Chains A and B, each alone.
Chain A
């Protein structure tokens, strides 16, 4: 199919983004030159990066990856970034811990191996650093000088940090009522931080309009006009999980859903590894997790629908509070294709799960992590997730960002005078 150029957009045939060769519409297959485009001009479908992926012996590629840096750039041959990406100023996220969660496994009755991919270990403490690092390279390639986004909080911090490191201006937009921790963690990097009076979907709509206005000229919105590139960063979660499992696919994986992009890209990453011969081609199941107060994809899955009806969010899991998820239909396709499911849990179950992960594995996850583990527990109890199979659960952010969720139930056990008698009286001297 011929590659098209859209008049009026800065599409660039000569841009160097490594193995990326074009943008392709996921709906109708139309192809476009690499550029700051995100929606198909024919059908409005989402554009995805098309690659000329490495050929040759899988063993050679595996060795090349293993010899790379301990961050996502070890997978540069599979990403839309220039070959010398590791030498440029960026936040270099990734290669976070895959924790074998034996204590948690015992608690949940999982015998086939339970792992937590703990992405709180990224530079700004959430998985968003992965996607933003890729978007920075695209912004450079297209000559943008301001980096921007609509954000539920985590992304704002990741964009602020990455822009600071890359020497770009940043101006990010958030709902006005975000958790204070996330506001501070976004503002500290010195860029502009703008609260919008509305929810995330309102912020997103505002950004989509700004991008078509002269006011947004020269701006790279990581999750709007750079979204095809940005989203590819989530593939690195799939690559890392497989490499850390000894170049093996997990049998089951549970992934939180906000827009649904992360889930679709992890599936894409698994499929690429299979195609490249880096892992054995075997079945795997993908499960999606939502909070009950914002569960449009879960509701569609349970109703057997293939379209997602938007909802107005109301949940403590604000990083997942996207009522109109752009990739929802694809999440439904993937969950059904792989034999997985999409489920939701209420806010109380989210808090319980945050505390369960902290108590059993010493990992303090944010509310999105609580949603994911809560849904994992629910699906194990329902017999949907098989406890005898290898299962990976994502923790996509640090609990320090969402202290409000657990502060009421996580306080000092006792307050006593500094005396042994007082300590004895408190009854805490022995287990």
Chain B
């Protein structure tokens, strides 16, 4: 499964400045493994010491927040668009 991953500004130091990269995987955990292989260091920014998504990171598969879709087990269909976004935005 090949997916497109949108990279937030603060992680682009790991992707050579690219805002979007491709990765492989049938579920989110595999996509993150794939990202780490191609862009070493990026997984530790997205995952905490226990290997869970950091609490201030939102990840969307297409339009769905993965927290509603099984978290790291969320399915990532072929061609899906994945967005990694800092959670500390919005509201007041």
Contact = CB atoms under 8 A, between A and B. Distances in A.
Contact of B63 (A47, A202, A207, A223): A202
B6 A326 contact: no
A142 interface: no
Given A42-B45, A205-B83, A310-B65, A258 B91 contact: yes
Contacts of A213: 19
Nearest to B11: A41
A204 interface: yes
Nearest to B85: A208
Interface residues of B, number: 30
Interface residues of A, number: 54
A255 B31 CA distance: 41
Contacts of A204: 89-91
Given A212-B19, A324-B58, A262 B63 contact: no
A328 to B, nearest CB: 9
Given A39-B86, A213-B19, A46 B56 contact: yes
Contact of A224 (B10, B13, B68, B89): B89
Given A212-B19, A213-B19, A326 B90 contact: yes
B83 to A, nearest CB: 6
A53 interface: no
Interface string B32-66: 00000000000001100000001111101001010
Nearest to A39: B86
B45 A259 contact: no
A82 interface: no
A45 B89 contact: no
A209 B83 contact: yes
A228 to B, nearest CB: 9
A127 B54 CA distance: 31
B1 interface: no
Contacts of A287: none
A131 B92 CA distance: 8
Contacts of A322: 90-91
A406 B67 CA distance: 35
B92 A27 contact: no
Contacts, number: 119
The residue in B7, B10, B17, B65 that gathers the most chain A C-beta atoms within 10 A of its C-beta is B10
A165 to B, nearest CB: 19
Contacts of B8: 39, 208, 212
A8 B88 contact: no
A230 interface: yes
Contact of B91 (A7, A38, A43, A325): A325
A350 to B, nearest CB: 19
Contacts of A209: 6, 83, 85
A209 B67 CA distance: 18
Interface in A2-56: 6-9, 27, 37-47
Contact of B55 (A155, A211, A260, A307): A307
11 contacts: A9-B9, A38-B88, A152-B91, A212-B9, A212-B19, A213-B19, A227-B88, A260-B91, A325-B91, A326-B88, A326-B90
Interface of A: 6-9, 27, 37-47, 127-128, 131, 150, 152, 155, 200-202, 204-205, 207-209, 211-213, 221, 223-224, 227, 230-231, 234, 258-262, 307, 309-310, 322, 324-327, 329
Interface of B: 6-10, 12-13, 17, 19, 45-46, 54-58, 60, 63, 65, 67-68, 83, 85-92
Given A45-B56, A152-B91, A326-B89, 18 more contacts: A7-B13, A8-B9, A8-B13, A39-B88, A40-B10, A44-B10, A45-B88, A128-B92, A131-B92, A200-B90, A201-B65, A201-B90, A204-B89, A207-B90, A208-B85, A223-B90, A322-B90, A327-B88
**List of 3 A-B pairs having minimum Cβ-Cβ separation, nearest first:** A259-B91, A39-B86, A204-B90
